[in-house]
Structure 1
């Protein structure tokens, strides 16, 4: 009983508690709509890859990436799509592809790289590919890209 006080959630008694929803606006789209959008992008992605347009496929997947609560299925599907593109790209093509992306897409790509690095043991994720992309992306976008990703509350 001497340590029972350690199990009390003191934030429940604090009126000024900061919630995750106060830090970032949720995705305005309905979770079902987000999942449908990601599935349609996944279909378009396959056609881009079959044509050999890796830059177009990556730009497509990185635009309007799902974020926020209640869209975990869409996040997982979009992560798998990004990893498919990253794994199927030749190392010599990476700098040219990264240069074609706008700054927002570069930041989103960096988020996916860090997300992939955090998922240890997944068979679809090759750490050496992620590190290669990280190096090339940092060369093109600079270290500001890393800082923007680390301070952004919208997680992919």
Structure 2
């Protein structure tokens, strides 16, 4: 019995297939440059945290996050740096810090919170920290931030 027809990818012949590249523009930066920027931001965040400037640290790390293919290492560095910020922030400081961010930065923060929740065992961060930030962020931004984070194809 002939079964080789089952191994044909028929979607590559379909003209109506949507690819991620068709839905958003690729990151114009070179992957090596993105990695270098992520490392520089990590250093800047550490100095901001040493000065107890959580809002400044978040603004630095959430500004033009890495997305797209070939930037996995930069994404990991950015996520770990962001999780350090979230973990070192006192609960009473969360709402004012979130309010100081722009709407784009708030949406990007929501993406990173969900990415942190998707990590196996949630990585080095406590679940209550991520859930607390999610709660406060949703209180400030409403459910619109959740919808924008879920529907944006630019994955951080």
Cα distance in 2 for residues equivalent to 1:123 and 1:11: 36
Cα distance in 2 for residues equivalent to 1:55 and 1:91: 13
CA RMSD, Structure 1 to Structure 2 (Å): 1.4
Normalised TM-score (structure 1): 0.94
Q: Deviations over 1:94-135 (max 9, x none)?
A: 111101111000000000000011112243132111000000
Aligned position for 1:10: 10
Normalised TM-score (structure 2): 0.94
Following superposition, the deviation at residue 4 of structure 1 comes to 4.6
The 3-state SS of whatever aligns with 1:121 is helix
Cα distance in 1 for residues equivalent to 2:64 and 2:76: 14
Aligned position for 1:45: 45
Residues 1:61 and 2:70 aligned together:
no
Aligned length, in residue pairs: 156
Aligned position for 1:90: 90
Following superposition, the deviation at residue 52 of structure 1 comes to 0.7
Question: Stretches of 4+ moved more than 6 A in 1?
Answer: none
Within a 5 Å distance, the mapping from 1:136-147 to structure 2 comes to 136-147=136-147
Q: Deviations over 1:40-71 (max 9, x none)?
A: 11111111011111111011100011111111
Unaligned runs of 5+ in 2: none
Identify the range of structure 1 (105-114 vs 6-15) with the bigger mean alpha-carbon deviation. 6-15
Contact 2:116 2:123 in 1 (8 A): no
Unaligned runs of 5+ in 1: none
